[in-house]
Structure 1
Amino acid sequence: MNNRKYKILASLLAFSAWAMPVFAEEKSATDYDLKTREVVVTATRTEQEIKEIPNAVEVITAADIKKLGAEKVTAALRRATSINLSKAAMAGNQVSIRGMDSAHTLILVDGKRIAGEDASSTSNVYELNRINLDNIERIEIIRGPGSSLYGSDALGGVINVITKRSTKQQTTQSFVFGSEESSTSTRFDFGKQGKLAVSADIRFTDVRKKDEALSTNTNMFGDKSYFNISADYELDKNKKLVLDLEYMEENQKTYYQDAGTSSINQKEWFDNERYGYSLAYKGKTTKGDYELRTYFNRLKKESRKTNKNVWADFDHAKYDTWVVEGRNSMQVAENHLLTFGSEYRQYSYKGTRLGEGADNVYTDNYLGLAKKGSEKTINSKAIYLQDEWVVNERLLFTPSFRLDEHSSFGSNFSPKAGATYKFSDNSRFKTSYGKGFRAPTISLLYMDMRRKMGSKTVTVLGNPNLQPEETTSFEFSLEAERDNNWAKISYFNNDVTNLISTERLATTPTETKSRYININKAQINGIETEIGRKLNKNFSVKLTNTYLDATDKNTGARLTDRAKNISSLQLEYTDNTAKPLSITLWQEWLNDYNYIPTGATKAQDFNYSSLNLAVHKTWNKSFSSYVGIDNIFNNKVDELNVDGRVWRLGLEMKL
């Protein structure tokens, strides 16, 4: 512990020595061609400049996505600070922010929650790759707890995907060819026709089949389809209606073998669809803005499997999310901007993995098989309040709180306070302290899953007595820009209680049985650093590192599925012409990634590095292309499902 404190103190002192000359200078932001005014809405639910916000914030724009040659949302996030996107089994990715579990990341689309899987092992694993990349305007990432504004699930942070709105008439056709997947997409922007602006997106993706490492198993492969329609209708210059419709379909399958066999003897098919709508009324006044919104989305899942060409098992599931919410931001005094709102959320889940554990038990007959199923609906109500208080020209203080009333466990109070102190226009100190929580989901409370997996039946039971997972978190950081240089360093600390884990109840040759329990306490702290320099008008370089110390407070052991250090060195080139060429070369390192390989009983540390390249060229106002290569030197780590080199080629035409 003392060694860790010395490391933290030494890092802060070293940064302070570099930055202190900046603190004494008073230069305007226009003195630096590096700096632009980046505005986000996720951190405070209001438009706020990143420099002012006490939170750790990162923005990835549509232009950034193109420069990276990203073919899916997880690829667009690869260079984001303190996010672990390691591959999760057959498909999907972890979405871990600052060492917190994937389930502790709240994923939003235009501020809306998404209906999806809710067990500990599946929460958020598939979600990012179910979002249409071509419909994204930008991605806002908030690191640190966000429960004071967003309620449950935002223990580690928030990822808010903000979609495009139609501004001018244009048709965009895109093609992606790659070693992992290929896709084609069309976007129709109808522009503003009188008071109405409409756009529509269509994307088809083919995920390629490949064998997984260390086995003859395959990944989940097959087709995905995305459809989005958005419409803005102006009632007058300060009021409008916003409608969004979305549909997603997955038709995929996987082949795999039982333990102890040498050939594929099981096949499984997955047919999923999600659809939803959102209707919002937005307005502006002389003192602020407001919004009333309702939205609904549903994920329907069907899986079926064979064992030696005989139907062996199936599952059906239906997840619904319905929300009604209102928000108002109002300038109540010269130095106070109040944001307040309320929300009603209802979640429903009906499926065979609930077995007889929930309400309205029924029998599902399918393919000559019969399984029990049940359903459950839970709801929550909330109010929240935030004050953006400009204490003086140097200090911004932002207190906030939220009170949630949940139908399953009662009330939860989530306070947070943050402050930004500006030493000068180009250097600042930020700090925040807050509490977060995650309410147990329907699966965690009521699951009664019995599923055939090879020669065994795997049983997982929910626990209606579960308590919410909770965090107490604080962080502080220093940021500065000087001439063509910039740097940031942050220390964060999360004290986690009531972590939900599983308890093994029985293990026999024919059955494995477990249930969810509150048991773990964890301490997760770390240091984020970023140093960059614009070398000249064409080249810039950036170095980032996240040091993570994540331990189980009960045993003192390191938490698994986390790296002790994640680092990247990034070099960017642009020729700054009317038809720009951009080249991005970056090296990634994961050190001491703590993981329990398949079949092992103890965690092991793994190291991994990858050199990656993306080249994007605009040929004229109508045509651009990119090529991307990940893991150029084909490094493989079979235990972590790192398969080696990945390539992709993309083309975009504007008509």
Structure 2
Amino acid sequence: KNIFMTDARKTEDNLTLEYERKFSDTENNIVGIYRRSSNAAYDRSLNVERPWLLDLRTEGFFDRYSKQWHPKHTLTGGVEYYKDQVLDYQDLAAKYSDGTVISKAVHLQDSWQLADSVKAVGSLRQDWNSYAGSKLSPALSLEYQPSEKVLYTLAYTEYFAPPKQLQIFSPDYGDEALKPEEGRVYEAGLTYIPDESSSLKINVFHRDATDVIAVDISLPKYLRRYANIAHEKATGFTVSASKRFSEKWRSLVAYTQTKVDTERKNSSPVSTMIPHGELLLDLMYEYDKYSVLLQGRGVFDQANGRGENRFANNNYWVWNASLNYKLQKNTRLYVKVNNIFNQFYSNWDNESGGFLGFDEWYAEPGRNYQIGINYSF
């Protein structure tokens, strides 16, 4: 329905390299580097060349060391460093380039086997962000396994989410004074394994977040910017079940429901990219060197109760299929058909409050095909 900008394209490249060294049965280290580049543009719009361009890059490294220093204790520590850049931004009204955000972190975790059936994991993470400041975030989880068939879990986590590159540097909406989103997450879970061929998992969660970032549409259109606008709470649950029917057939069903409540109802919708309901269906067939996967994803109320007109479709199904063939022990050929039924949908809300005079979305890809080779060594 977007008649304003057409002929869009997007290119990405991702590189991840990791090296793990196991010094002994109780000690190992993993070091890795990461690089991701993304370039998106509309190539034609009302005879205007390059009406919209966004060129982003993220690169960095991590190092993680683990040591079982006691029969009941395993200590894990690490460092991270990432650089997020806006290499080029351009739209009909403004241009921007060379915006950089540096993120650094150190973390320490101790896994403590309190008893044969009880395990505790505690951690501390210290973040530093060149724009959003720093925060020390603790986390704690408990596991209780009274038998081989039942596992109970409890967890508490604090988190620190700095603003993204575009939220800081966008010429139209960015704000370099944005504060990070901070919050707490509470979780409880149950895993039940009645036999070797099936399992059932239930997880409930609650998230309490402050300084959530979104475009503040309560301001006049020419003054709208990203802002820390909301105190947000999200509560939900996930139920999943897996079953192996035979050596050749197995399946997975998972349903997640999330309810998001935002303090400022008259402002820009926050967390509309989190559906109210999401159902995943997997059916796999394996025989000799072949494996086939049929996967369905159903979304119910994509806008999480904030209006059906914010997305191309508020309720939809997307189906994917893949065929794998093992050429050799470490080599696998795959063919994929994504979005088999060419469903028109969007995961990103670009509702402009009527500013453009028509509905606007960033649509997800329609039916598409992939073929490739996976080699592990």
TM-score by length of 1: 0.46
Assess if the C-alpha contact under 8 Å between 2:79 and 2:106 holds in 1. Answer: yes
CA deviation profile, 1:123-175 (whole Å, cap 9, x unmatched): xxxxxxxxxxxxxxxxxxxxxxxxxxxxxxxxxxxxxxxxxxxxxxxxxxxxx
1:332 aligned partner: 69
* Residue 282 of structure 2, aligned match among 570, 576, 585: 570
* Residue 290 of structure 1, aligned match among 29, 34, 37: 29
Assess if the C-alpha contact under 8 Å between 1:551 and 1:558 holds in 2. Answer: no
1:341 aligned partner: 78
Q: By how many angstroms is 1:520 displaced?
A: 1.1
Assess if the C-alpha contact under 8 Å between 2:18 and 2:30 holds in 1. Answer: no
User: Using a 3 Å threshold, how does the CA distance of structure 1 residues 518 and 394 change in structure 2: closer, same or farther?
Assistant: same
* Residue 475 of structure 1, aligned match among 176, 179, 187: 187
Is 2:106 the partner of 1:383? Answer: yes
CA deviation profile, 1:547-567 (whole Å, cap 9, x unmatched): 111221333988523322211
Assess if the C-alpha contact under 8 Å between 1:420 and 1:428 holds in 2. Answer: yes
Q: Mapping of 1:121-136 within 5 angstroms?
A: none
Q: By how many angstroms is 1:377 displaced?
A: 4.9
* Residue 131 of structure 2, aligned match among 391, 404, 408: 408
Provide the rounded CA distance (Å) in 1 between the counterparts of 2:340 and 2:121. Answer: 45
2:8 aligned partner: 220
User: Using a 3 Å threshold, how does the CA distance of structure 1 residues 303 and 648 change in structure 2: closer, same or farther?
Assistant: closer
Assess if the C-alpha contact under 8 Å between 2:6 and 2:45 holds in 1. Answer: no
Q: Mapping of 1:116-265 within 5 angstroms?
A: 215=3, 218=6, 220-221=8-9, 248=13
1:455 aligned partner: none
Q: By how many angstroms is 1:338 displaced?
A: 1.0
Assess if the C-alpha contact under 8 Å between 1:300 and 1:319 holds in 2. Answer: yes
* Residue 583 of structure 1, aligned match among 292, 299, 304: 292
Provide the rounded CA distance (Å) in 2 between the counterparts of 1:605 and 1:302. Answer: 23
Q: By how many angstroms is 1:417 displaced?
A: 0.3
Provide the rounded CA distance (Å) in 1 between the counterparts of 2:312 and 2:58. Answer: 39
Provide the rounded CA distance (Å) in 1 between the counterparts of 2:74 and 2:120. Answer: 11
- Where is the strand percentage greater, Structure 1 or Structure 2? 2
1:606 aligned partner: 314
Provide the rounded CA distance (Å) in 2 between the counterparts of 1:629 and 1:301. Answer: 24
Assess if the C-alpha contact under 8 Å between 2:295 and 2:320 holds in 1. Answer: yes
Q: By how many angstroms is 1:431 displaced?
A: 1.5
Q: By how many angstroms is 1:282 displaced?
A: 4.8
Assess if the C-alpha contact under 8 Å between 1:473 and 1:492 holds in 2. Answer: yes
2:353 aligned partner: none
Assess if the C-alpha contact under 8 Å between 1:317 and 1:352 holds in 2. Answer: yes
User: Using a 3 Å threshold, how does the CA distance of structure 1 residues 540 and 352 change in structure 2: closer, same or farther?
Assistant: closer
Q: By how many angstroms is 1:543 displaced?
A: 2.0
- Could you tell me which runs of 5 or more consecutive residues in structure 2 were left unpaired when the two chains were aligned: 347-358
Provide the rounded CA distance (Å) in 1 between the counterparts of 2:103 and 2:370. Answer: 45
Q: By how many angstroms is 1:423 displaced?
A: 1.8
CA deviation profile, 1:418-464 (whole Å, cap 9, x unmatched): 1111121232111210100112345434x251xxxxxxxxx324142
Q: By how many angstroms is 1:635 displaced?
A: 5.3
CA deviation profile, 1:202-228 (whole Å, cap 9, x unmatched): xxxxxxxxxxx5658546348x58xxx
User: Using a 3 Å threshold, how does the CA distance of structure 1 residues 481 and 307 change in structure 2: closer, same or farther?
Assistant: closer
User: Using a 3 Å threshold, how does the CA distance of structure 1 residues 529 and 352 change in structure 2: closer, same or farther?
Assistant: closer
* Residue 142 of structure 2, aligned match among 412, 416, 419: 419
Provide the rounded CA distance (Å) in 2 between the counterparts of 1:624 and 1:647. Answer: 20
Q: By how many angstroms is 1:387 displaced?
A: 0.4
1:84 aligned partner: none
User: Using a 3 Å threshold, how does the CA distance of structure 1 residues 218 and 621 change in structure 2: closer, same or farther?
Assistant: farther
CA deviation profile, 1:487-513 (whole Å, cap 9, x unmatched): 111101111111011224443xxxx44
Give the aligned residue type for 1:403. Answer: Q
Q: By how many angstroms is 1:545 displaced?
A: 0.9
Is 2:251 the partner of 1:514? Answer: no
Provide the rounded CA distance (Å) in 1 between the counterparts of 2:87 and 2:336. Answer: 42
CA deviation profile, 1:181-215 (whole Å, cap 9, x unmatched): xxxxxxxxxxxxxxxxxxxxxxxxxxxxxxxx565
Instruction: Name the SS for the 1:444 alignment partner.
Output: helix
Assess if the C-alpha contact under 8 Å between 1:282 and 1:290 holds in 2. Answer: yes
User: Using a 3 Å threshold, how does the CA distance of structure 1 residues 422 and 443 change in structure 2: closer, same or farther?
Assistant: same
Provide the rounded CA distance (Å) in 1 between the counterparts of 2:248 and 2:57. Answer: 49
Provide the rounded CA distance (Å) in 1 between the counterparts of 2:322 and 2:53. Answer: 41
- Could you tell me which runs of 5 or more consecutive residues in structure 1 were left unpaired when the two chains were aligned: 1-212, 226-247, 249-273, 356-368, 450-458
Assess if the C-alpha contact under 8 Å between 2:7 and 2:43 holds in 1. Answer: no
Give the aligned residue type for 1:420. Answer: E
Q: By how many angstroms is 1:300 displaced?
A: 8.4
Assess if the C-alpha contact under 8 Å between 2:59 and 2:84 holds in 1. Answer: yes
2:247 aligned partner: 537
Provide the rounded CA distance (Å) in 2 between the counterparts of 1:636 and 1:377. Answer: 35
Report the count of equivalent residues.
356
Provide the rounded CA distance (Å) in 2 between the counterparts of 1:584 and 1:278. Answer: 27
CA deviation profile, 1:211-262 (whole Å, cap 9, x unmatched): xx5658546348x58xxxxxxxxxxxxxxxxxxxxxx4xxxxxxxxxxxxxx
1:439 aligned partner: 162
* Residue 502 of structure 1, aligned match among 215, 240, 243: 215
Q: By how many angstroms is 1:627 displaced?
A: 5.3
1:256 aligned partner: none
CA-atom RMSD, angstroms? Answer: 4.4
CA deviation profile, 1:82-125 (whole Å, cap 9, x unmatched): xxxxxxxxxxxxxxxxxxxxxxxxxxxxxxxxxxxxxxxxxxxx
Q: Mapping of 1:60-71 within 5 angstroms?
A: none
Higher alpha-carbon deviation: 519-528 or 620-629: 620-629
Q: By how many angstroms is 1:482 displaced?
A: 1.8
TM-score by length of 2: 0.74
Instruction: Name the SS for the 1:555 alignment partner.
Output: coil
Q: Percent identity?
A: 21
Q: By how many angstroms is 1:613 displaced?
A: 4.2
Provide the rounded CA distance (Å) in 1 between the counterparts of 2:343 and 2:230. Answer: 35
Assess if the C-alpha contact under 8 Å between 2:84 and 2:102 holds in 1. Answer: yes
- In our comparison, the structure showing a higher alpha carbon Rg is 1
